[in-house]
Amino acid sequence: MAIDFEIKFANIPALQCELDHTDLARRYLALLKKQYAQDSSPIFRDPKQYTIDYFRSLTDSAKDLLGWDWNRPSYDLAATKELHKSLEQYLANGYANIPEEHDDLLNELHFCLHAIESGSRRDSWLQIEWFNDQGFYLDADEYPAKFSLDFGAIRLQNPYVGHHPLFVYEQKDLQNIYQTCRFHDFVKPGINIVIAPRPGYKETFDWTSYLQWFQTHAPDFVADKGIDNLKKFTGHPIIGMVKNIHDLQNLIDLPLIKFESITFA
């Protein structure tokens, strides 16, 4: 078993991470090493700390700083999807094009929005990231599309506020399709670890219905992006795996998760 790097959290053995044997994985690893050498204090957010009450405090700040009225009686999926549109529109061109003083608030709003969709439970992923636009572009033929999410899979960090096509299709989210549906064509140095396994359906995936849905509801988008690119960017960007799954399970069972360090082989 070839371990490429280890992630140490408090009170648990380090998570042993093995990447795929691809050129993309090698470039990702080099990017991750370079970023960590420049800044060994990345951002890690424990979903359990991102509650409705905390979100309401963030909406007050969003109203003062951004003029957004995000106060709602409740935050069901329909409400959070609608609020997400403000983030997609504002961050359509990346963080480099917004005032730096907005960065922290926007990232907190974005993470908390998704956390409350799952009841502030650790049931989606754990992510280590940096506040920057560092990375490299990814060709459609290199996109590591997978149709299943296994517990402990290492997924490339989403570089955009929007979502990849399969996610958009599953949620049937058509509003502002150019902002909502973003091909994962850029690799950032963040580490995303799947903790909510989802079964795959590659062998039974209904490509005809999938492509027809996009062609029916977003024909201009399909014509602009190309049907081949749409197909190639369909799936989850899995690039590796945590090998000591038992320790990962023990980690997410802890009352508080605290990131400590990354060590490279």
**Which pLDDT score is estimated for 78?**
83
130 lies in a domain?
Answer: yes
Q: Please, which pLDDT band fits residue 71 given cuts at 50, 70 and 90?
A: confident
- Say which residue the tokens 């920057």 belong to: 132
246 against 87, higher pLDDT: 246
Q: What is the DSSP string of the chain?
A: ----EEEEETTSPPEEEEE-SSHHHHHHHHHHHHHHHH-S--EE--GGG--HHHHHHHHHHHHHHH------S---HHHHHHHHHHHHHHTTT-GGGS-GGGHHHHHHHHHHHHHHHTTT-S-SEEEEE-SS---EE--GGG--EES-B-TTEEEEPP-SSSB-HHHHHHHT--TTHHHHB----EE-S-EEEE-S-B---TTT--HHHHHHHHHHH-HHHHHHH-HHHHHHT-SEEEEEEES-HHHHHHHHTSSS--EEEEEE-
Which range of residues forms the domain containing residue 134?
A: 5-46+122-264
Share above pLDDT 90 across residues of the chain, in percent, rounded to a whole number: 57
Between the alpha carbon of residue 114 and those of residues 18, 51, 108, 235, the distances in Å are 27, 10, 10, 20
Give the count of domains, the chain: 1
Between the alpha carbon of residue 236 and those of residues 19, 121, 166, 197, the distances in Å are 15, 21, 8, 12
103 lies in a domain?
Answer: no
Work out the average pLDDT over 160-174. Answer: 87
pLDDT of 92-138, one tens digit each?
777 777 888 888 888 888 888 888 887 777 878 899 999 777 899 99
Contact 183, 140 (CB under 8 A): yes
**Which pLDDT score is estimated for 116?**
83
Q: Please, which pLDDT band fits residue 202 given cuts at 50, 70 and 90?
A: low
90 lies in a domain?
Answer: no
**End-to-end C-alpha distance for the chain, whole angstroms:** 12
18 against 66, higher pLDDT: 18
115 lies in a domain?
Answer: no
Contact 133, 96 (CB under 8 A): yes
259 against 167, higher pLDDT: 259
57 lies in a domain?
Answer: no
248 lies in a domain?
Answer: yes
Work out the average pLDDT over 12-18. Answer: 98
Contact 247, 152 (CB under 8 A): no
**Which pLDDT score is estimated for 110?**
86
pLDDT of 28-47, one tens digit each?
999 999 999 999 999 998 88
Q: Please, which pLDDT band fits residue 89 given cuts at 50, 70 and 90?
A: confident
pTM above 0.85, yes or no: no
**Which pLDDT score is estimated for 38?**
96
Average pLDDT, the chain: 90
